[in-house]
Structure 1
Amino acid sequence: MTDTSLDEVDRAILRALQEDARHHTNAEISERVDVSATTVGKRIAALEEQGVIQGYRTEIDYEVAGYPLLVLFICTAPIADRERLLRETFDFDGVVNVRELMTGVNNVHILVAGTATDEITRIAHQIDELGFNVNDEILLRNEYNEPSAHFEPGVADE
């Protein structure tokens, strides 16, 4: 399924799920979208089946959870080894997110949560020993997420 095959109902459902998938029931979404709760459930199942919805994730405030250090490692990985390196990165305790970028350098961003600097240093060594070239380490303060404007009501194939 491509973005152009999403209709207004699909977009509205995706918007509601992005806002709060845990607390929006099919019945609540159906009121917003003006279709039955059964239709919402079928649409969600179809979007999951087609791979548009790939999962549901919990957003964690790591500082509140006892991991006050959130560090972004900006790395370079050889293209031939990148896929393997990305998979193996999740073997390290503390790695919470890995992003692959389509650039020659700084092509991998690894987000790590930890309790102390020595823990972050240990993870940095593991990342380096695995085969990444660590180019930068950035201590993050906050991260913000927002539902995509692509799924706003009335936005279609702009």
Structure 2
Amino acid sequence: MSEREDIVELDELDRHIIYRLQQDARRTSASTIAEENGVAASTVRNRINRLEDEGIIDGYYLDVDYERTGFQLHTLIVCSAAIPDRERLARDALEIEGVVAVREVMTGSENVHVEVVGRDGDDLSRIGQELDALGLEVVDEDIIRNEYVHPYEGFSPKNQ
């Protein structure tokens, strides 16, 4: 452990596991990672379990094409919240139908970003009204066209 009690030191195998799972968790087996690192598959499975238990790996998420499922409006709603209420309001926003993700931003007045999906403008209006009723001030709305993700290069075997 480092100076901070809650920080977990990751070794080369831990970082490689995280990097490969960020690339494609669904199609990356423990056996594949094990072969790449010259260790047993059971070692990789044990490491994944430990990383999950310690909260380093917090879940596996689907990348959904909402438009193909009839939800034409994939939108980012930017909100403001008072700092003392920000975390509570962000968690409460997750309970609104159509909200798929919420991010708290540490600085600035536009400090809660709410990702929503809806079939039409009526859905977005309803979600905006419900966010307002919670106490979030809607500042801006942006339709998301595409989103691209990439694993963090700091975990890449090339950087070790």
Give the TM-score band, short-chain normalised: over 0.9
Alpha-carbon separation, structure 1, partners of 2:152 and 2:23:
9
- Partner residue in 1 for 2:104: 100
Alpha-carbon separation, structure 2, partners of 1:33 and 1:117:
50
- Partner residue in 1 for 2:7: 2
How many aligned residue pairs are there?
155
Aligned 8 A contact 1:12 1:152 in 2: yes
Mapping of residues 106-125 of structure 1, within 5 Å: 106-125=110-129
Aligned 8 A contact 2:52 2:58 in 1: yes
Mapping of residues 35-54 of structure 1, within 5 Å: 35-54=39-58
Mapping of residues 10-89 of structure 1, within 5 Å: 10-89=14-93
Q: Percent identity?
A: 45
SS of 2:67 mapped into structure 1 = coil
Would you say 1:144 and 2:142 are equivalent positions?
A: no
- Partner residue in 1 for 2:3: none
Runs of 4+ displaced beyond 6 Å: none
TM (norm. structure 1) is: 0.92
Aligned 8 A contact 2:80 2:138 in 1: yes
Alpha-carbon separation, structure 1, partners of 2:98 and 2:121:
12
Greater RCO, 1 or 2 (C-alpha within 8 Å, sep 6+): 1
Alpha-carbon separation, structure 2, partners of 1:113 and 1:130:
18
C-alpha RMSD over aligned residues:
1.3
Alpha-carbon separation, structure 2, partners of 1:153 and 1:103:
32
SS of 2:140 mapped into structure 1 = strand
Aligned 8 A contact 1:13 1:33 in 2: no
Aligned 8 A contact 2:34 2:44 in 1: yes
Deviation at 1:2, TM superposition (A): 3.3
Aligned 8 A contact 2:102 2:113 in 1: yes
Deviation at 1:45, TM superposition (A): 1.1
Residue segments in structure 2 that go unaligned for 5+ positions in a row: 1-5
Return the letter of the residue paired with 1:29: I
Alpha-carbon separation, structure 1, partners of 2:22 and 2:28:
10
Aligned 8 A contact 1:95 1:112 in 2: yes
